[in-house]
Amino acid sequence: MIKNICVIYTHHKLGDLIWQLPYIKAISDHHKQQVNLIVREKTQAKNILKDLSHINLIHYNNFRKGLFYWIDVFKLMKIYLKNKYTHVYILDKVNKPALAAKICGIKNIIGPGIGNQKKWLTVKNFLTKEDWNLNYSEQSQKMLSINSISLKEIYPNIDINVNRFKNNNPDLILPGKKISFGIDSFEDYKMWYEENFIELAKLLHKEKLFEQIYLICGREKSYLAKNIINSSNKNYFVDCSNKNLGGIMLALKYSDFFVGNNSGPLNLSAALGITSFGLIANDPIDELKYSKIQIITPENYDNKRYRNREGMKKLSVERVFKQIMEKIN
C-alpha cells in the first residue's frame, strides 16, 4: 500500500515549530519515508527546513477563527485531496485539520485528542486529561508513545547549507571572531534591556571573545539595534534587523556563540548547533529542557511565569557574563 504522510502543526511562532522537529522526524522514521508538512507561513518553514532530508513538501495554511474558519477547512481539504494523503498527524489540539481530514475520508487521522478534536480522529489513542497539563513537547512525546512511534532524538536539529545566503548578504561576511546577540522577542516582557547588552559586550570584548557582534532582531523592532549602536558608540555592533531569515541563519552560523532572549532566534541558534545562552526570567525553565539551550536565570529564580519585565531587571550583567565565561572556558 502506498502511504502519503502529512504532519500538521498550527502554532505561528518559529520557536514552537522548532521544538516539534524531533517528533516530525520520528514520524518519518516510523513510516520509513519522507513526510509533508502543513504549517503557518509566519514560521518561514520553507526557508528553515529546506535541507532536511526527511521532509518532502511544505504547505502553508492559515488557521483562523470566525468567518475564515471554513475557508481554511476547504483549503486544507484541497491540499489533502491533491496529495492523496493516507495519514494525517496533528501535533496539537486544533480541530480544523482533523475535521477536514474526516470530510475527505482519510482513514488514518492521528492527534492528541484534546477536547473536541477526538470526535474527528480515526485512531482512538488519546491523551488523558492529566496529559493536557504537559507542555507542548511532552504532549507530542506522549502522542507518539501511545501510537507506538519511537523517539530517537529529543533535541531539535536543523542541518542547513547557509552558503546559498552569502551572495545576498556580503555585509555579513566579516573577518575575525563573531558572536550574536538576540535582542528582541515576540513578547516584549521577555526582553533584556538594551543597556545590559551594551555592558555585556564591553565585558566580553575585554576578554577578546569577538571582533564583531551581530544584533539579531526583527524589522518591527529595529529600534532596539539602533538604540544599542547609538548609545554604545561602539563600531563592533552589526545591525541585522533588515535581514531576512536567510541572512539571520548566515549570521548565526558565523557566530561562535549566541546570547539572547527567549525567542525564535534563540531556538533556531540552538537547533543549528551554535552554543546558545538563553536569558530566561519570565518562564518556567522546564519548557526548554528538550533543547540544547544553555539557560541563564536571575539568582534564586522561582521558575514561574510572569507577564512583565520585572524578572529581567533582576538578571544582572555580571551574572550573565560569569555564566557565559564558565561555560565557554
CA pair distance 75, 80, nearest whole angstrom? 9
Neighbours of 261 (CB within 10 A): 27
Domains along the sequence of the chain with CATH: 5-146 (3.40.50.2000), 168-328 (3.40.50.2000)
> CB–CB of 280/297 below 8 Å?
yes
Q: What cell does 90 get?
A: 496533528
Q: What cell does 271 get?
A: 537547533
CA pair distance 9, 112, nearest whole angstrom? 12
Neighbours of 299 (CB within 10 A): 8
CA pair distance 50, 98, nearest whole angstrom? 26
Ramachandran quadrant class, 273 (left: phi over 0; alpha: psi -120 to 50; beta: rest): left
Q: What cell does 183 get?
A: 535582542
Residue type, 175: P
Provide the whole-model pTM: 0.94
User: What pLDDT does residue 52 have?
Assistant: 96
DSSP conformation class of 238: E
Q: What are phi and psi of 223, to 5 degrees?
A: -60, -30
DSSP conformation class of 98: H
Measuring CA to CA, which residue among 173, 172, 190 is closest to residue 265? 190
Measuring CA to CA, which residue among 34, 32, 30, 48 is closest to residue 6? 34
> CB–CB of 278/266 below 8 Å?
yes
Give the three-state DSSP class for 288. Answer: helix
Alpha carbon of residue 258 to chain centroid = 15
Q: What is the pLDDT along the chain (329 residues), one digit of tens a residue?
A: 789 999 999 999 999 999 999 999 999 999 999 999 999 999 999 999 989 999 999 999 989 888 899 999 999 999 999 999 999 999 999 999 999 999 999 999 999 999 999 999 999 999 999 999 999 999 999 999 999 999 999 999 999 999 999 999 999 999 999 999 999 999 999 999 999 999 999 999 999 999 999 999 999 999 999 999 999 999 999 999 999 999 999 999 999 999 999 999 999 999 999 999 999 999 999 889 999 999 999 999 999 888 999 999 999 999 999 999 999 98
Strand pairing class (178-182; 212-216): parallel
> CB–CB of 27/149 below 8 Å?
yes
User: What pLDDT does residue 152 have?
Assistant: 94
Largest CA distance in the chain: 65
Give the three-state DSSP class for 224. Answer: helix
